[in-house]
């Protein structure tokens, strides 16, 4: 409370002694109704704001106005009775600084097997940001994992294949904002397409790889969430070979939601397969109502996880194929369905095929008929059975 009975409000000031005396503390107090400095508050000696304030009888000291003389910035002295006192010249505002608002959005992007990069719009008046994390796909992030002086942050030391949900707050001297909207990412995910529409949904949200139509362009239909690519059996989507999509002895995972509109013959759901000697890597494909996740070595010798009776006409199924460097595994709807024999040799090092959604990379195509949604690849990461089940049970196989 000020000497004049008005409440004191924290404010930020930049102050220095005009006669060479040390600078005052940068946190002071002012009376809320007037914005004028008041003597008697902690951490605030004599402060002169302007000649107009001096003429008005401020600052207030001991209930009585005290005459002050404001001269030049250097060497000026005010008088109190007959005793000289240093003049403090203040720059900046003595008005209370409000806490910043919360960041309006947040983006989380995987950056390798154990890191996720975060970014958000800068907030006016913020001097720092606090990052909160939740291990999982939903909920309120409550554990602070760091602070940043800029509008970005890299969270490291994460578990490959786990999902993490984040929020960010903004702070200044007056306090901390509420949390931003949350954002979720999976450590180790190397490529992801939502397939929500024929534009942005065909652009990889992690590395920017763009799926392009081949044959008849897919249509758009209701997906497992949002929209899906509607494949009529005469067209597919294709993206050129990239390291983010390749098979690896360090392990990898491929993930897709599919809704078959036909269960006749062999149809390719998600592949990186040229179907020729020396240009095959991996493929998820159907054979009737059966399903297979197959991997080929450089000698075109395959390991297979074919399992019958896994598909139902016009019914969505969550399909995940993993490879841990030794064996391939096939999951549907969060359940392990088959494990392959032991892989030997190495992956091809040249003539690598394109990745295709709904076909293989050769003239036969073997187009898929039905809908596909939420395609993802994890290069260098084999999801565990628990991670696959968690993604399906939480709905996170749908987002992100």
| Cα torsion 296, 372, 195, 339: sign | negative
Q: State residue 97 phi and psi, 5-degree precision.
A: -95, 120
CA-wise closest residue to 358 among 366, 347, 346? 366
- What are the residues whose beta carbons fall under 8 Å from the beta carbon of 234, sequence distance 6 or more? 215, 216, 367
CA-wise closest residue to 299 among 279, 319, 313, 284? 279
Counting Cβ atoms within 10 Å, is residue 334 exposed (0-12), middle (13-18) or buried (19+)?
A: middle
What percent of the chain is modeled with pLDDT above 90?
A: 67
- What are the residues whose beta carbons fall under 8 Å from the beta carbon of 275, sequence distance 6 or more? 360, 361, 362, 364
CA–CA–CA angle 226, 258, 108 (5° rounding) = 50
Q: Residue 78: its pLDDT value, please? A: 36
Instruction: Say whether pLDDT at 253 is over 90.
Output: yes
Kindly report the pTM of this predicted structure.
Answer: 0.77
Q: Residue 365, Cα to own-chain centre: how many angstroms?
A: 36
Between 278 and 324, the higher pLDDT residue: 324
Rounded Cα–Cα distance for residues 155 and 195 (Å):
28
How does the average pLDDT of the chain come out, rounded?
81
CATH class of the region 107-186: mainly beta
CA-wise closest residue to 381 among 183, 155, 133, 111? 111
Q: Which helix (H) or strand (E) holds 390?
A: helix 385-393
CA–CA–CA angle 361, 364, 370 (5° rounding) = 80
Half-sphere exposure of 226 (CA within 13 A, CB side): 17
221, β-bridge pairs: 228
Between 72 and 290, the higher pLDDT residue: 290
Q: What is the mean pLDDT of residues 242-270?
A: 96
> For residue 198, what pLDDT band results from cuts at 50, 70 and 90?
confident
> For residue 162, what pLDDT band results from cuts at 50, 70 and 90?
very high
Q: What is the mean pLDDT of residues 165-179?
A: 96
Domain boundaries, the chain: 8-91, 107-186, 191-393
Rounded Cα–Cα distance for residues 37 and 31 (Å):
7
Instruction: Say whether pLDDT at 36 is over 80.
Output: no
Instruction: Write the DSSP assignment of 68-126 as a string of letters.
Output: -----TTT-EEEETTEEEE-EEEES--SPPPPPPPPS--EEEE-STT-EEEE----TT-
Rounded Cα–Cα distance for residues 223 and 219 (Å):
12
Q: Residue 96: its pLDDT value, please? A: 63
- The tens digit of pLDDT for each residue in 41-91 reads 333 334 444 444 444 444 433 333 333 333 333 333 333 333 333 334 444
SS3 content of the chain, % helix, strand, coil (to 5): 5, 40, 55
Q: Residue 225, Cα to own-chain centre: how many angstroms?
A: 19
Span 191-393: which CATH code? 2.60.120.200
Give the alpha-carbon dihedral of 357, 360, 364, 368, to 10 degrees. -30
- The tens digit of pLDDT for each residue in 345-384 reads 999 988 999 999 999 999 889 999 999 999 999 999 999 9
Instruction: Say whether pLDDT at 100 is over 80.
Output: yes
């Amino acid at each position: 409370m000020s000497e004049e009975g008005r409440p004191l409000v924290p404010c930020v000031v930049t102050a220095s002694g005009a006669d060479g005396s040390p600078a005052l503390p940068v946190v002071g107090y002012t009376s809320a109704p007037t914005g004028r400095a008041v003597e008697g508050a902690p951490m605030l000696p004599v402060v002169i704001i302007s000649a107009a304030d001096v003429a008005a009888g401020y600052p207030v000291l001991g209930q009585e106005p005290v005459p002050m003389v404001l001269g030049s910035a250097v060497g000026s002295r005010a008088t109190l009775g007959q005793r000289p006192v240093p003049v403090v010249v203040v720059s900046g505002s003595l008005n209370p600084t409000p806490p910043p608002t919360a960041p309006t959005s947040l983006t989380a992007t995987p950056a390798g097997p154990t890191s996720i990069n975060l970014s958000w719009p800068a907030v006016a008046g913020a001097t720092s940001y606090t990052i909160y994390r939740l291990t999982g796909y939903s909920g309120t992030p409550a554990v602070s994992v760091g602070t940043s002086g800029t509008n970005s942050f890299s969270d490291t030391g994460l578990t490959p294949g786990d999902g993490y949900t984040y929020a960010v707050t903004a702070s200044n001297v007056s306090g901390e904002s509420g949390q931003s909207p949350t954002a979720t990412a999976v450590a180790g995910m190397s490529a992801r397409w939502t397939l929500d529409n024929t534009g942005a949904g065909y652009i990889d949200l992690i590395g920017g790889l763009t799926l392009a139509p081949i044959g008849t362009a897919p249509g758009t239909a209701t997906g497992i969430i949002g929209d899906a690519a509607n494949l009529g059996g005469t067209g597919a989507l294709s993206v050129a070979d990239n390291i983010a999509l390749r098979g690896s002895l360090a392990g990898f995972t491929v993930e897709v939601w599919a809704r078959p509109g036909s269960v006749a013959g062999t149809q390719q759901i998600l592949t990186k397969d040229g179907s020729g000697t020396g240009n095959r890597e991996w493929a998820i494909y159907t054979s009737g109502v059966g399903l297979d996740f197959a991997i080929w070595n450089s000698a075109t010798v395959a390991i297979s996880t074919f399992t019958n009776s896994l598909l139902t006409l016009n019914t969505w199924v969550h399909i995940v194929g993993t490879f841990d460097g030794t064996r391939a595994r096939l999951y549907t709807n969060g359940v392990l369905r088959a494990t392959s024999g032991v892989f030997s040799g190495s992956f091809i090092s040249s003539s690598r095929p394109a990745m295709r959604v709904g076909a293989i990379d050769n003239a036969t195509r073997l187009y898929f008929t039905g809908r596909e949604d939420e395609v993802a690849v994890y290069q260098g990461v084999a999801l565990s059975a628990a991670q696959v089940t968690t993604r399906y049970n939480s709905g996170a196989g749908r987002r992100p």
